[in-house]
Amino acid sequence: MSGSDAASRDEAPRLMTRERWVEVIRIVAVAIITWLYWQERMPRPLLLAGIAAGLYPLARIGITELWTARKIGTEIFVTIATIVALLGGEDVAAAVLMTIILFAEFIADFNTDRARASIKALIGAAPRTAVIRTASGERSAPIAELTPDVVVLARAGERIAVDGTVVAGQAAVDEAVITGESMPIEKGAGASVLAGTVVMTGAIDIRTDKVGGDTMFARIIALVENAESQEAPVQKLADRVAAWLLPAVLVFLVAVFIVTRDVRKIVALMIFTSPAELGLATPMVMIAAIARAARQGILVKGGVHLEQLAKSDVMVFDKTGTLTEGTPRLFRAVATDPALTEDELLRLAASVDRRSAHPLAKAVVDAAAARQLDLPEVEEFENVHGRGVSGRVGSRRVIVGNEAMLDDRGVTRPLDRVAHPGTTVLVAVDGRVAGYLQFGDPIRPAANALLAALKADGVRTIVMLTGDNEEAARAVAEATGVTEVRARLLPEAKVAAIDELRAGGHVVTMVGDGINDAPALARADVGIAMGARGTQAAIEAADIALMTDDLKQILIARRLARRAYRTIMENLIVGVGVVHVLGITAALAGWIGPIQAAMLHVGPDALVFLNSIKLIKVQLEP
């Protein structure tokens, strides 16, 4: 997404605020004064003044935290280390230590803000004006002035300003900023479009449905920007460790000083016992991961949900619309009357069903169209709610419905039907059963591969919860590799099933459509709503919302979550643990002094930052 990368680079100058420029001047001034003092071209009082000027912001923050929150933070720790070095006569070491720490803190703070800014850059910039069509012609208007039903014009190269419906024109629209879809999608009259997407070719007139903060684009930005406020458990653990680590370190340093009476060694140890990287190890990872997910069309409401997804050992799926396409399809038409062919039976049934709005009727008509069957007009059409339809096709009286419908009309039965896990509809012609139609909800082509990949990725149990009948549920489970099936469940029964799984010590992720499954999504450790594009209810119900119905996004979200959690562990164990243990060992052995320790201290900061920020470009495609 080259446009996003460019936007991220353009954001850097904006982050250099007046306060940051003051900080840069402060750091450079202290560095110059230190170098001049080391070259014996600067008196000690000026060096002390420079150190005081550089130390002031750190000391202020450290004392404030100590006084108001009873927290011994990194700032107070560095302040103490600098003062100890000065009292021990290590003037240059004190100045170098403080300068390098100030520089490291500045880089860490700047890059953290830059990572946050990249979130909005990855999603894109919201348009501020739109061209609207009026009776008197076209004119430009601020977004704030737009209202529903206003017609907005969007041309090639322009970003669509509203959520709405195309009323005229044709265009190819790039929806990558919302859905992660890499190819432009053709839009014509009747198609829905979203604010923030880009018209690549053509031009369209859009009737406005939602504007401003109500658009999907605005909701995505708000969700992603607020996501980092929800700390993951591992992040809270790091904060707690830092809280008790500093007092423990101070006790350790006092003990070392009592034994060695070596101020240089104490200063070097203080540098490597600073827990500054603990404060960077997790937040930066979560910021980068959430930004990466947003670019993929995956909205994560907080780091806590990423961590829970990474730890999930049970994945629960709704059936209809999740593992299946959610739209009935005619699997086969069987003619039991020797006088009728299969195509003739389908032609008669589709002629009657063409006047019905029922989903099964539509499936029949679609199947007839696929076979290019000619459908004559039906006369004397009748629709009986909950039972079926009837009518006269030419000289024949045709009934398409369930057994109750045929019983009501005095049609001779029984019918020897072939068992099928889907739905069966009977067809009667002139008072006799002539055949039957069998329907099913097609399994998504990617379902089997997804479930196999999840099992390979550490998910031990895959459960399907559905309100459908046991037979249909078992058929889908066997075809996809589901390990446990629970059928004929009402919404409250799905919630009870989630509770039962969690009570067994499992971390449960629930995947559903975000509307019918809202209670179960809310009860699971992680709720994932599929196809949340344009659906406020789906986004509100779930912890993670997928902007498309692509099952592959579930695996991408899982892999990103596991990668983020692994990165945090790498930061804590390698970037903080190993590096600091080696530094403390070298300082205790006398192999390095304060100046070398201060210079080496930059390493863990850079390591943590680079390891965290790589998540923005990591390859996640299955």
- Residue 276 CA to residue 269 CA, distance in Å, equals 14
Checking if the pLDDT of 93 tops 90, the result is: no
The residues pairing with 426 across neighbouring beta strands, listed in sequence order, are 401, 436
If you average pLDDT over residues 201-219, what whole number do you get?
84
- What is the per-residue pLDDT across 462-493, written as a single tens digit (0 to 9) for each? 999 988 778 888 888 998 999 999 988 878 88
State which fold the 313-325+444-524 domain adopts. Rossmann fold (3.40.50)
Tokens 């066997």 appear where?
Answer: 478
- Torsion sign, CA atoms 228, 232, 234, 239: positive
Distance of CA 320 to the CA centre of its chain: 22
Q: Identify the three-state secondary structure at position 355.
A: coil
Q: What pLDDT sits at residue 223?
A: 64
- Residue 20 carries which DSSP code? H
Reply yes or no on whether 318 is catalytic. yes
CATH architecture of 147-210: Distorted Sandwich (2.70)
Checking if the pLDDT of 127 tops 80, the result is: no
Residues 163, 318, 353, 517: which is the catalytic one? 318
**Segment of 85-99, 411-425, 432-446, 576-590 carrying the highest mean pLDDT:** 432-446
- Residue 151 CA to residue 86 CA, distance in Å, equals 71
| Of 208 and 299, the one with more pLDDT | 208
The residues pairing with 485 across neighbouring beta strands, listed in sequence order, are 464
| Of 506 and 597, the one with more pLDDT | 506
Pairing label, strands 508-512, 314-318: parallel
Residue 6's pLDDT band, with cuts at 50, 70 and 90, is: very low
| Among candidate residues 507, 485, 611, 609, the one with its CA nearest the CA of residue 558 | 507
- Residue 342 CA to residue 321 CA, distance in Å, equals 29
Check: CB of residue 82 under 8 Å from CB of residue 51: yes
Q: What pLDDT sits at residue 8?
A: 44
Computed over every residue of the chain, the mean pLDDT equals: 81
Domain with CATH 3.40.1110.10 in the chain: 329-440
**Segment of 96-100, 111-115, 618-622 carrying the highest mean pLDDT:** 96-100
- For 11, the enclosing helix (H) or strand (E) is helix 2-15
If you average pLDDT over residues 126-151, what whole number do you get?
84
Residue 181's pLDDT band, with cuts at 50, 70 and 90, is: low
Which residues make Cβ contacts (< 8 Å) with residue 237, sequence separation at least 6?
none
Q: Is the peptide bond before 622 cis (omega within 30 degrees of 0)?
A: no
- Residue 535 CA to residue 556 CA, distance in Å, equals 21
Tokens 């692509």 appear where?
Answer: 550
Checking if the pLDDT of 513 tops 60, the result is: yes
Pairing label, strands 461-465, 378-384: unpaired
What radius of gyration, in Å, describes the C-alpha atoms of the chain?
33
Domain with CATH 2.70.150.10 in the chain: 147-210
| Of 121 and 417, the one with more pLDDT | 121
- Residue 418 carries which DSSP code? P
| Of 388 and 144, the one with more pLDDT | 388
Q: What pLDDT sits at residue 73?
A: 63
If you average pLDDT over residues 442-468, what whole number do you get?
90
Q: What pLDDT sits at residue 582?
A: 86
Pairing label, strands 508-512, 396-401: unpaired
Q: Name which of 85-94, 141-150, 197-206 the model is least confident about.
A: 85-94
Residue 111's pLDDT band, with cuts at 50, 70 and 90, is: low
pLDDT above 90 covers a percentage of the chain that reads 24
Q: What pLDDT sits at residue 232?
A: 47
If you average pLDDT over residues 271-281, what whole number do you get?
66
State the burial class of residue 443 (Cβ atoms within 10 Å of its Cβ: 0-12, 13-18, 19+): middle
- Residue 307 CA to residue 284 CA, distance in Å, equals 14
| Among candidate residues 290, 622, 572, 234, the one with its CA nearest the CA of residue 457 | 622
Sheet strand arrangement including 508-512: 298-300, 544-546, 526-529, 508-512, 314-318, 461-465, 484-486
Q: Helix crossing, 233-260 with 552-570: angle to 10°?
A: 10
Check: CB of residue 124 under 8 Å from CB of residue 11: no
Q: What is the pTM of this model?
A: 0.71
Q: What pLDDT sits at residue 9?
A: 47
Residue 242's pLDDT band, with cuts at 50, 70 and 90, is: low
Q: What pLDDT sits at residue 125?
A: 57
> Long-range contacts made by residues 529-535, C-beta under 8 angstroms, separation at least 24?
530/321, 530/322, 530/554, 531/321, 532/299, 533/178, 533/179, 533/194, 533/216, 534/163, 534/192, 534/194, 534/216
Domain with CATH 3.40.50.1000 in the chain: 313-325+444-524
If you average pLDDT over residues 63-78, what whole number do you get?
74
| Among candidate residues 360, 224, 247, the one with its CA nearest the CA of residue 302 | 224
- Residue 42 CA to residue 400 CA, distance in Å, equals 100
State which fold the 329-440 domain adopts. Calcium-transporting ATPase, cytoplasmic domain N (3.40.1110)
Check: CB of residue 206 under 8 Å from CB of residue 167: yes
User: In this structure, what token pair is assigned to residue 4?
Assistant: 């996003």
User: In this structure, what token pair is assigned to residue 109?
Assistant: 């703070």
- What is the per-residue pLDDT across 575-602, written as a single tens digit (0 to 9) for each? 667 777 888 889 888 898 877 887 777 6
Q: Identify the three-state secondary structure at position 4.
A: helix
If you average pLDDT over residues 186-210, what whole number do you get?
89
- Residue 497 CA to residue 524 CA, distance in Å, equals 10
Determine phi and psi for 569, rounding to 5 degrees.
-65, -40
Beta-carbon neighbour count of residue 43 at 10 Å? Answer: 11
Q: What pLDDT sits at residue 536?
A: 64
- What is the per-residue pLDDT across 290-346, written as a single tens digit (0 to 9) for each? 878 877 888 888 778 888 899 999 999 988 888 988 788 898 899 988 889 999 999
Residue 421's pLDDT band, with cuts at 50, 70 and 90, is: low
- What is the per-residue pLDDT across 340-380, written as a single tens digit (0 to 9) for each? 999 999 999 999 999 888 888 999 999 999 999 999 999 99
Count how many residues are written for the chain. 622
Q: What pLDDT sits at residue 330?
A: 92
- Residue 412 carries which DSSP code? B
- Residue 185 CA to residue 337 CA, distance in Å, equals 46
